[in-house]
Amino acid sequence: MELSASSAFDEIRRVEEEVRKARRHFGTTLLITGLAAAPFWWTQLLAPDWVRNAGYVVWIVGGIVLYAVPRGDRHRGQVSAAWYTRGWVALAFLVFLLPPAVGLGLKLGGVDGLDWLVALLCLVSGAPAIYAGWRFRSGR
Amino acid sequence: MSAKPPEGHTHPRFDLDDVIHAPVRLSIMAALAAADEADFRFLKETIEVSDSLLSKHLLALEEAGYVNATKGYEGKRPRTWLSLTDQGRAAFTNYMDVLRRIIGNP
């Protein structure tokens, strides 16, 4: 098939837009995860029981909606950035494991009065995901 | 575009890279130039081709040294990540320059 220069340009622009859409979607998912991480861990580690239970339900339902429900657009494949692929384990560790690990460690060790440290970790836990989401959305 | 250019040619169309200047391969290169990495499925959905056709063109680009494929797992699901090599990125940049020379700066 003969491909003219202008149709080659049109195809390049179309594909670039598809990639931009996918990156924006992925970035938004990371951003929401990061923004939700701090309040979630706060409810799980520092709040009263009823707030903890409510936070848990919201986190699970939100996770299903965000990650498991099929998207409106047709893409199921993924785009990524090299730095994200290399760093996702560290990101997942910060978002999902560090706050409960430290919280549980303090509880098991019988250490009191360090709620400020747990609160700080809750706050920090979402920061890498927020940063990654921002970079994906801005195409960096 | 695949015909041998006449001696002393001046038209920029003769400078188009034949490896890139084919419908499916052009789309693959454009997608990988815009994304750092893309998985096989993303390319398939974006370019709207069959698995076998995409594999065939990816192989041609890999053999030309333009594309790098990394196989891995996401959970238990096998996944193939594709990216441009430095040589591929340079070739695509050059291809874009030639296109601009042909049609003027769009």
Distance separating alpha carbons of residues A44 and A83, to the nearest angstrom: 30
Residue contact B35–A80, C-beta within 8 A = yes
Q: Does residue B59 form part of some domain?
A: yes
- The structure tokens 């340009």 sit at A9
Whether residue B7 is contained in a domain is answered as no
Distance of CA B94 to the CA centre of its chain: 12
Name every chain A residue with its beta carbon within 8 A of the beta carbon of B51.
Answer: none
| CB within 8 Å of chain A, chain B residues 49-78 | none
User: Chain B: residue nearest A82 by CA?
Assistant: B36
Give residue A74's pLDDT.
54
According to DSSP, residue B19 is labeled T
Q: What are the angstrom distances between the C-alpha of B22 and each of A39, B26, B30? A: 51, 6, 12
CATH number, position B68? 1.10.10.10
Rounded to a whole number of angstroms, the distance from the CA of A119 to the nearest CA of chain B is 31
* Cβ(B103)–Cβ(B12) below 8 Å: no
Q: Is residue B80 part of a domain?
A: yes
Please tell me if residue B40 touches chain A, with a CB cutoff of 8 Å.
yes
* Domain boundaries, given as residue ranges, for chain A: 5-69+77-137
Is B9 part of any domain?
A: no
Q: Is residue B38 part of a domain?
A: yes
Q: pLDDT tens across A32-42, in order?
A: 988 888 888 88
User: How many structural domains does chain B have?
Assistant: 1
Domain hosting B49: range is 28-103
Q: So what's the ipTM on this one? A: 0.81
Nearest Cα residue in chain A from B34: A16
Residue B53 lies in a domain: yes
Query: Does B105 have pLDDT greater than 60?
Result: no
How far apart (Å, rounded) are the C-alpha atoms in residues B32 and B67?
Answer: 9
